[in-house]
Each structure stands twice: as C-alpha cells, then as structure tokens.
Amino acid sequence: MKQLDVCLTPELLHLHNLSNSIVVVADIFRATSCMVTGLAYGVKSITPVATLEECRLLQERGMIGAAERNAKKEEGFQLDNSPFSYMADNLIGAEIAMTTTNGTLSITKAKATAVKVLVGSFLNLGALANYLRSEVYDVTVLCAGWKGRPNLEDTLFAGALADALQEQFMLLEDGTLMAQRLYQESRHNLLASVANSSHVRRLQRLGIQKDISYCLQTDLYDIVPVLRGGKLIAMP
C-alpha cells in the first residue's frame, strides 16, 4: 500500500526519503493559494524562485515578477502575494516569476529529489486527492511553515489531505497522525481554528482578513499545479 507522510517544515525535509514520493507543497497563507488561483484563472506558468535577485532577473527578461517577504510586497515588483491579485485579466496567458518567504523555498528544496512536485491548497484539495489516488507513488506533504518553524494552517491542510486519502494510503508517522487529528478537530470551522495562529495575527495586522477567509475555502478549483522544467503549470 502506498504511504502518505507529512513533513511539518522544510527544515526537516532531509529526514524524508523522497525517491519514491510525490511532494505536495503547501503554503496556505498565501503562496500556494495564489499559485492555484492564478493557474485556475488562466496564468500560463509560475516559476518559483528562492531569491529576490532571481525574481528580478526574470522580471527584466519579460516575466511578471511577484515578490513577498514577511507577508509584504517587495518594492520594484509588479505583483503581490494576495490571491485576489491573481484573478486579473491581464494575467491570462502570462508567465509569472514568484518568490515568497516560505513557499517558493519549499518548492526549490523538494524538486531536488522528489518524483514530482505539486502545489496544494484547500482551494484544490479534492482535485489533488483524486490525482494522488490515481498515481502509483507515495506522497509527502511538505508544509512550508514560517521561517523554518511549523505553522498551524499548513499543518491543517496536510491533515485534510491525509484525511481524504486515508483509505488509499497508510498514515504511519506521528507527524501525519498529529496533522490529521488537528484537522479533524477543526474541520467544521477552519476560520475559527486558525484565528489565534501566529501568521493570522501577522496578516490581520496588515489588514488582509479577506485573504484568510478566501484561502480556507475548499474545492473552488479543479486543477493540479505541477512543476515541469522549473515552471508550475496546470496539469493538462
């Protein structure tokens, strides 16, 4: 039987053997929720990069640059890290280069050894689960966390995916068990559950409550973003 495992932060990724595993990266507030939204609205590709410099370079070469650090847009870039910014008409068919505090670093770390890298969020949870059921590989959910530490919202997403896949996958490790229990306990009110988390307090100070509510909606989009040749695209 296939296994599903949860890695609570990229700082622990070296403890996971990814050689037979698809990695699902989750940075719920807000990088991967933005990626899913953009690709669902017709963005052609999103190139995740680890540094501001790479992002700037790609912007100079004609891509649309999106750069966030510490939950704020960096100066000199065209796009911010709010999912509502990814619904714009001028982004249909566009190529985006993106760097964020946690999410894009997780993607660049995972791609070194994983069979395949997908991007997950509550917005495309059902589509992801369906796709993973159809594959032969194990699954590792990589929570982006916050600056190396685990966070609540990404753990809840990992728990939601584990919960959806528990009939088809073995859930053996304690990290997985803990994520699933935290999700089960709060599945009926995710918004209340994250209200006290450190990142939500951080985002609320920036006045982006509506982003939080949006990112906690389940199954808005039927797409699975996959990394191909360094670019995230909607799986055909």
Contacts to a second copy from residues 180-209, by CB under 8 A:
181-182, 185, 196-199
Contact mark string toward a second copy, 1..40, x via CB under 8 A: -------xx-xx--x-------------------------
Binder among 57, 170, 177, 191 for a second copy (CB under 8 A):
177
The site that binds a second copy (CB under 8 A) totals a number of residues, namely 26
Assign 3-class secondary structure to 111-172.
CCCCCEEEEECHHHHHHHHHHHHHCCCEEEEEECCECCECCHHHHHHHHHHHHHCCCCEECC
Minimum CB separation from a second copy for residue 154, in Å? 9
Least distance CB 153 / a second copy (angstroms): 8
CB of 233 to a second copy, least distance (A): 31
Which residues are within 8 A (CB) of 112 and not within 5 positions of it... i.e. 6 or more apart? Answer: none
Q: Identify residues 83-142 at the interface with a second copy (CB under 8 A).
A: none
> Residue 16 gets which letter from DSSP?
S
d(CA 200, CA 15): 28
The β-bridge partners of 5 are 140
Compute CA distances 27 → 62, 89, 99, 155, 169, whole Å. 26, 24, 12, 10, 22
Distance CA 189, CA 194 (A): 9
**Contact positions with a second copy (CB under 8 A) in 140-169:** 146-152, 155
Q: How far is the CB of 78 from a second copy (least distance, A)?
A: 31
Identity of the residue, 163 or 173, whose beta carbon is nearer to a second copy in the bound complex? 173
Closer residue to a second copy, CB minimum distance, 65 or 175: 175
Interface pick for a second copy out of 38, 65, 120, 175 (rule CB under 8 A): 175
Question: Is position 65 an interface residue for a second copy (rule: CB under 8 A)?
Answer: no
Cβ density class 116-133: b for 16+ within 10 Å, e for less: bbbbbbbbbbebbbebbe
**φ, ψ of residue 161 in degrees (nearest 5):** -70, -40
Q: Given candidates 50, 87, 88, 178, which one binds a second copy under the rule CB under 8 A?
A: 178
**DSSP 8-state symbol, 8:** S
- What CA–CA distance (Å, rounded) separates 212 from 199? 10
Smallest gap from Cβ 148 to a second copy, in A, equals: 5
Binding site for a second copy (CB under 8 A): 8-9, 11-12, 15, 146-152, 155, 172-175, 177-178, 181-182, 185, 196-199
